[in-house]
Amino acid sequence: MSTVQRVSEQGPSGPNAPGRRPSARRIVVVGNGMVGARFVEEVARLDPEGERVHVTVVGAEHQPAYNRVLLSGVVAGDYTPDQIRLPVPQTPGVSVRLGVGATALDTAERRVDLDDGTHLVYDELVLATGARAAFPPITGVSAPDGEPGEGVTALRDLADCERLLALARPGAPVVVLGGGVLGLEAARGLAGRGARVSVVESSPWIMRRQIDQSAARVLADCYEDLGVSVHSWRVASRWIPGTGLVLDDGRVLPGDALVVTAGVRGNIELAKEAGIEVEHGVLVDDFLATSDARVHAIGDCAQHPGGGAGLVQPGWEQASVLASRLTGAAPQARYAGARPLTRLKAQGIELTAFGLVQEEELGPQVETVTVSDPHGRRYAKLAVSEDRVVGAVLLGFPQAAASLSQLYDTGAPVPADRLALVQGLPTAAAQEDAAGAAPALVCRCNAVSRDDIEQAWLDGARTRESIAERTRATTGCGGCVRDVNALLAGMGGGRSTEPVG
Ligand SMILES: Cc1cc2nc3c(=O)[nH]c(=O)nc-3n(C[C@H](O)[C@H](O)[C@H](O)COP(=O)(O)OP(=O)(O)OC[C@H]3O[C@@H](n4cnc5c(N)ncnc54)[C@H](O)[C@@H]3O)c2cc1C
């Protein structure tokens, strides 16, 4: 059953929203996830009276949009589902239809068919359909119809979260299939709830795409300390409900539940069946247009040459660029691609990684500085080329993670004392100021700089909540909460212990 918020919708051939101004162009957004919802928020900000555009959003999930990034925090018990809701704009130019899926797209008629038997007509269509969990073809893991097998769940939406928490009682054995960022976050959260967790990764090491092998060894030790067993370079051959996961070497890892975190697949079928060009995502250019100029794609379902799918910051940037274009606020706005940075959200483990870090990526012109302290569960690797940071892995070095990611973002020159930098000594900020480089980003998810936060403070924001309200800092992955609190403390302001979201 569908839920309608604010303006109720049309019958099969009526206008998309009865309250729409006749001159307002009709934008239909398919997908009410993190990026679709941000697009709508941006449109409402740029066209608050709905004079230029009217947006109708359809979302297959039954609940209002929420911060998906914080689902691992829900698993860990740090947030309740209510605490991760995203803001819903209350403006005349926006209609949201929940629990409604788009089933087909007719680009000639500019029409979207919905699973409640109605349809929407658009002037511009925005695909923000995101991605879904990929289930590997292993006996017992998924049924022939693609549904998860008994005792098996993904971790992609709130419904998965509820299923997982029902399966993973304290003391229960749980297997996590996939030792990437998501799997490791889930494993940490479940271990914190008292489950006995094993992680299986088919690559030679965990977080294979983000960190090097030496870092992964130390990271695996951090997990073993928490009682989580890590099995890298092991292929799963069968899931037996009520027993566990059988590995290729014959071992059986006991499990009441199997959490599959083995990658995602873009929801591209609507576009593909309508004849729009797709590869693993819907192909878009710098204007976020697809091969059909009236159809746009943003977020995890989009494939831009400069990347960005799978991370919220590029998706939010795309949402902002497209809203500026379609409202006419900045018709020439462009999306230039992403510079991904990974921060593991696992309580008690400080891990940040970005740029070039794998041995095979580092050519002879790249200098590296490495500090390995397995006993102290710390590891740092810095890669520098032509005096600029080009990559780093920082496990257990939060100060260095902050200063190096700022140097990476701003492109400021690296101080001569590389070792001091890796240890987190305060040489970076001085260099950056001296170089007159771009102001350092504090909240990467929302591209909020230190200058923006200082300005918000000058404008009267004295708590983290009011800083968040003015700048959006801390409302993404939550990784910058400590930095914002520190800035506030430095400026003589307060802080807050309220959850983010
Ligand atoms: C547990 C977890 C932790 C994460 N942590 C991080 C992190 O720390 N940092 C980071 O950058 N990223 C993280 N991510 C990834 C991040 O959540 C995604 O990049 C982001 O959610 C993408 O937003 P989106 O709107 O494109 O897709 P989604 O958020 O997936 O939303 C797509 C929406 O479209 C709906 N939909 C799909 N098809 C249709 C249809 N035909 N009709 C109607 N509705 C449809 C779906 O139901 C869904 O609600 C994490 C993801 C998960 C699951």
If you average pLDDT over residues 219-236, what whole number do you get? 97
- From the list 249, 252, 253, the residue with the least C-alpha distance to 187 is 253
**Does the structure show a pLDDT above 50 at 1?**
no
Q: Nearest residue CA, atom 31 of ligand 1?
A: 33
H helix or E strand, kind and range, residue 391 = strand 388-395
Any idea how long the chain is? 501
Q: Is 386 exposed, middle or buried (0-12, 13-18, 19+ CB in 10 A)?
A: exposed
Structure tokens at 451: 């200058």
Residue 408 near residue 343 (C-beta atoms within 8 A): no
d(C-alpha 477, C-alpha 451), whole Å:
20
pTM: 0.92
d(CA 231, CA 254): 13
Query: How high is the pLDDT of residue 155?
Result: 97
Question: Which one, of 215, 216, 174, lies nearest residue 191 by Cα?
Answer: 174
Element (H, E) at 382: strand 378-385
CA distances from 426 to 280, 438, 452 (A): 43, 18, 21
CA max distance for the chain: 68
What residue ranges of the chain are covered by domains with CATH 3.30.390.30? 350-438
H/E element, 105: strand 102-106
Residue 15: pLDDT band (50, 70, 90) is very low
Q: Is the pLDDT of residue 11 over 50?
A: no
Share of residues in the chain with pLDDT > 90 (%): 78
Q: Find the helix or strand (DSSP H, E) in which 373 lies.
A: strand 367-373
- If you measure from the C-alpha of residue 268 to the centroid of ligand 1, how many angstroms do you get, rounded to a whole number? 13
In this predicted model, what pLDDT tens digit does every residue of 156-168 receive, in sequence order?
A: 999 999 999 998 8
Q: Where in the chain is the domain with CATH 1.10.10.1100?
A: 442-501
For ligand 1, pick from 62, 71, 79, 129 the residue to mutate: most ligand atoms within 8 Å of CB. 129
- Does residue 14 register a pLDDT over 70? no
| Residue-wise pLDDT tens digits, 456-501 | 999 999 999 999 999 999 999 888 888 888 888 888 755 554 444 3
> Residue 18: its pLDDT value, please?
65
| 15 token code pair | 């206008």
Name the residue at shortest CA distance from atom 14 of ligand 1.
69
Residue with the nearest Cα to atom 5 of ligand 1? Answer: 69
pLDDT bucket at 32, cuts 50 / 70 / 90 = very high
Say yes or no: CB of residue 98 within 6 Å of ligand 1.
no
The answer to whether residues 148 and 171 touch, using CB atoms and an 8 Å cutoff, is: no
* More confident site: 434 or 241: 241
Using only the alpha carbons of the chain, give its radius of gyration: 23
Fold of 442-501: Arc Repressor Mutant, subunit A (1.10.10)
Mean pLDDT value across residues 364-369: 93
Q: Which CATH class is domain 25-132+265-327?
A: alpha beta
Fold of the domain built from segment(s) 350-438: Enolase-like; domain 1 (3.30.390)
For residue 13, the model assigns a pLDDT of 35
CB 94 within 8 A of CB 43: yes
Tell me the pLDDT tens digit for each residue of 412-426.
999 999 999 998 776
Rounded CA separation 181/164 (Å): 17
Q: What is the mean pLDDT of the chain?
A: 91
Q: Is the CB of 219 under 6 A from ligand 1?
A: no
The arithmetic mean of pLDDT across residues 431-452, rounded, is 74
Ligand 1 contact, 58 CB (< 6 A):
yes
Tell me what pLDDT residue 4 has: 41
Q: Is 210 in the pocket of ligand 1 (CB under 6 A)?
A: no
**Where does the chain hold its CATH 3.50.50.60 domain(s)?**
25-132+265-327, 152-262
Q: Tell me the CA–centroid distance for residue 63 and ligand 1, in Å.
A: 14
Percent of the chain topping pLDDT 70: 92
Q: What is the pLDDT of residue 17?
A: 66
CATH 3.50.50.60 fits 152-262, yes or no: yes
